[in-house]
Amino acid sequence: MLPLPSGCLLGAFVQRRNRFSVEIRTAQGSVWIHSNNSGSMLGLTRPGAPVLASPAANPARKLKYTQECVWLAQTAVPQRPGAEGGPQARTGAPAAALALPTGHCRDSGFWVGVNTSVPNRMLEAAFKAGRLPFAAGYTQLTREARRGQSRLDGLFTAPGLPPLWVECKNVTLVEDDAACFPDAASERGRKHLRELMDITAHGERAAMFYLVQRPDGRCFAPADCIDPEYAALFQAARECGVEMYPFRALVSPAGVDLGATLPVRA
């Protein structure tokens, strides 16, 4: 579990001025908070939606809080014909854990984690806890490991085992029951896939660690309708031996925990 710190702030989404700053309305008034999510956050910028933000570790920072997660109401989630309830209904509305300011949505729904630093921290925490089957036998994890002119999120090493390079991605989009990445065209994401393909071509292991920070996706797939080039590279990378590991995250006001793996849709 990656716990959220004490002193978190709960407010209602007002606007996203740019990719780095979000305005929320709290019981004390309007507050601008930091967002580290460079994606579109498609479907997660609905006016009035509850937003949970954590206090900045640096008290001198201009924006005193960082956006952690957004409450997605059940009524905002497209339902399959005949679908009722589902995992969304079991997550607990924010009012059950935190006092919502007047006017906030109290519909059933679920939290969606939007902090893009969480997958990297989860990779390390899960490795130390022995919860990454694909890294079994490895004894050391180097964060932000350099390879030539590139930098990848993690490098697992151990005597007698090939180096295992890992890139982490945060997933917040679900379409047709599939958790999808990316939610905006991503040249950086395409670059990482090419780098991982080059790694496997040199006889080392390479993997993508996708952390799906919402409970309703039943499988994982590249978002071909958003970035068809990324989707094509994803399939090519799989064929080249790049390992794909989508994990569900369990998101709550208490923090984020690692759930089960999701199947990759062919």
Specify the fold of 118-261. Answer: Trna Endonuclease; Chain: A, domain 1 (3.40.1350)
Domains of the chain, by residue range, sit at 2-113, 118-261
pLDDT of residue 101: 40
Taking residues 184-213, report their average pLDDT: 98
- Does the pLDDT of residue 86 top 70, yes or no? no
Residue 163: count of CB within 10 angstroms of its CB: 18
DSSP, residue by residue, 23-37: EEEETTEEEEEE---
pLDDT band of residue 18 (cuts 50, 70, 90) is confident
Taking the model in full, what pTM does it have? 0.89
Across the range 5-16, mean pLDDT stands at 96
* Residue % of the chain over a pLDDT of 70: 88
Is residue 44 helix, strand or coil? coil
Architecture label for domain 2-113:
Beta Barrel (2.40)
Mean pLDDT of the 170-192 span: 97
Distance, in Å, from the CA atom of 121 to the CA atom of 165, rounded to the nearest integer, reads 16
List pLDDT tens digits, range 93-122. Answer: 444 334 444 344 455 899 999 999 999 999
Q: What's the pLDDT at 95?
A: 40
Averaged pLDDT for residues 145-167: 96
Question: 2-14 burial string, b = 16+ CB within 10 Å, else e?
Answer: bebeeebbbbbbb
> Could you give the CA distance from residue 8 to residue 135 in angstroms, rounded to a whole number?
33
Burial-class residue 56 by CB neighbours within 10 Å (0-12, 13-18, 19+).
Answer: middle
Q: Kind of pairing, strands 65-73 and 50-55?
A: antiparallel
- Residue environment code for 15-50, b if the CB has 16+ CB neighbours within 10 A, otherwise e: ebeeeeebbbbbeeeebbbbbebebbbbbbbeeebb
Average pLDDT score over the chain? 90
Confidence of residue 77 (pLDDT cuts 50, 70, 90): low
Q: Return the DSSP state at 214.
A: S
Question: Tell me: the pLDDT tens digits for 25-38?
Answer: 999 999 999 999 99
